[in-house]
Amino acid sequence: MSSQQYLKSITAIIDQIVLREMPAIDSAARCCATTIAQGGVVHCFGTGHSALLAADVFYRAGGLACVNAILEEPISIHAGSLISSWAERQPGLAKLILDRYDLRAGEPMIVFSVSGVNSVPVEVATESRKLGLTVIAITSRAYCHSIAEGRGLNRTAISEADLVIDNHVPAGDAVLTIQGSEGTSRGNERSGSNLCEREPSRGERAQQEINCAVSPSNSALLTNASFNLSCLHRVQGWAH
């Protein structure tokens, strides 16, 4: 029964996206297509599990070579739940990350953030706009607004983006309530992500600060004979 309810919920969300988000999706597609036609790069960013969305469009067989996924280990789940959850909420870290990349005015920066409130993705949007990039936020309006109102936040991924695509994920980032688990199955709205209650220890914080300095780039080579490769020196993994 739960699997059928889940499928119905997911189908309903997809239907809402098709009904309400196609104008924003079309605008985002035009922005990306224009950049690609001009020999530019499409940049993608996310933290935690949202980093998987950025990785999903990077270095794929049959995909575009001109996609630059900004993947930094300390803010991804590869660093572990405590460290990555702590890191994605640190003010000032976003600019340090972006300073390592060749970001050019007019190019799109796609920011994935389901909650839309953690410091790093919000500041990536802010800093990217300062550099003249077009910021496309893919987030949940319902989730973002519920957290922002509860915490009195003025800046979110929504407020800092030029274009917002609502993924229509409900507040709490869950669609089912499992019998006997009420109050625990709909995410952690207090913090904006599913965090453990325990804060990192002093040793974990120290190691985190070391790790945050710079993570080495992937050394994989990109090959895509169907695309103009002149932009690849600007894509993570190709230039380093």
Q: How far is CA 38 from CA 48, 94, 129, 209, 230, in A?
A: 32, 27, 20, 38, 11
How many whole angstroms separate alpha carbon 50 and alpha carbon 84? 12
User: Position of tokens 């870290």?
Assistant: 93
Q: What is the pLDDT of residue 63?
A: 87
Q: Over the chain, what is the mean pLDDT?
A: 82
Is pLDDT of 224 > 70?
A: no
Task: Look at residues 168, 175, 143 and name the one whose alpha carbon lies nearest to residue 6.
Answer: 175
User: b/e map of 96-128 (b: 16 or more CB within 10 Å)?
Assistant: ebbeebebeeebbbbbbbbbbbbbbbbbbbbbb
Q: Could you tell me where the beta strands, DSSP code E, fall in 47-168?
A: 67-70, 108-112, 134-139, 163-166
Is pLDDT of 153 > 60?
A: yes
The reported pTM is 0.77
What is the tens place of the pLDDT at every residue in 57-111? 999 888 899 999 999 999 998 888 888 899 999 999 999 999 999 999 999 999 9
Q: Which domains does the chain have, with CATH numbers?
A: 2-234 (3.40.50.10490)
Contacts of 184 (CB under 8 A, 6+ apart): none
How many whole angstroms separate alpha carbon 189 and alpha carbon 180? 19
Q: What is the pLDDT of residue 124?
A: 98
